[in-house]
Amino acid sequence: MGIGDRFQQETSYRRDDPGQGIEGMLSAPDPDGPHHLLPHPDLTNSSSLWEALRNRRSIRSFTGEPISQVELASILWAAQGVTSSQGRRAFRTAPSAGALYPVETYVAVQAVADLMPGIYYYQTLEHCLVQRSTGDAAQAATHAALDQRFIADAAITLFWTAVFARSEFRYKERAYRYVYLDAGHIAQNAALAATALGLGSCQIGALYDDECNALLGVDGQREGILYMTTIGHPAAQSRES
């Protein structure tokens, strides 16, 4: 085991009581689950980049009101949607070391109009969601993020994982720096998109690694959790940092 693997494993949060995990809260992940084609993102929003930068704050209080599928699609596209193609390579909204794109996006759908709550995988190239499991995604996301209660009132929670070998084959141990940088670029895009849409977001690094991995149906070794963002309609007086 190299230093990169030790870094990834030894910085994990774990509950003292292993019996307090989320296993069984949702049905087993299904990588071949139903596909849900997303609407086109709305790129006509009149909010400028400069307004979004000025107005972005970490929001930790949400109304619980649903967001639309267009808003969800716009946030996912902003995070790491495809912007152009060159041969077999598809370039995205967020930069990635070597254009290797090791970071994957999963969505806990908590309150999205006409979309069943549950865990979904975002297929970037097809701009669609693949249903991994169904159930109370709000509570599952809350438990996975150190039981931070405000998450339960958000409309969605985004989970970002890395498929480490996608970068390791080229960058070896240095790849572990790059996957976290990639996740930061992606999360900032999502935060600015949410702000432009009049929504709030909070970026979350305080999470139970094993519980997030189990929730998403990834093994934590080949593919493991990096980062989270929760998004929804902000409650009054909820801007913090």
Q: What is the CATH number of domain 31-232?
A: 3.40.109.10
Q: What pLDDT shows up at residue 241? A: 58
Q: What is the DSSP string of 170-199?
A: HHGGGHHHHHHHHHHHHHHHHHHHHHHTT-
Dump the DSSP string for 136-160.
-HHHHHHHHTTT-GGGGGSSEEEEE
CB 112 within 8 A of CB 36: no
For 219-232, letters b (16+ CB in 10 Å) and e give: ebeebbbbbbbbbb
d(CA 104, CA 225): 9
Beta bridge partners of 62: 234
Q: Work out the pLDDT band at 24, boundaries 50, 70, 90.
A: very low
User: How much is the average pLDDT of 213-232?
Assistant: 97
Give the integer Cα–Cα distance in Å for 175 and 229.
22
d(CA 188, CA 27): 31
pLDDT at 25 over 80: no
Task: State the average pLDDT for the chain.
Answer: 89
- Mean pLDDT confidence for 56-82: 97
Please say if the pLDDT value at position 190 is more than 60. Answer: yes
8 Å CB contact between 73 and 39: yes
For the stretch 71-91, pLDDT in tens is 999 999 999 999 999 888 899
Q: Is the pTM of this model over 0.75?
A: yes
Among 175, 114, 119, smallest CA distance to 143 is for 119
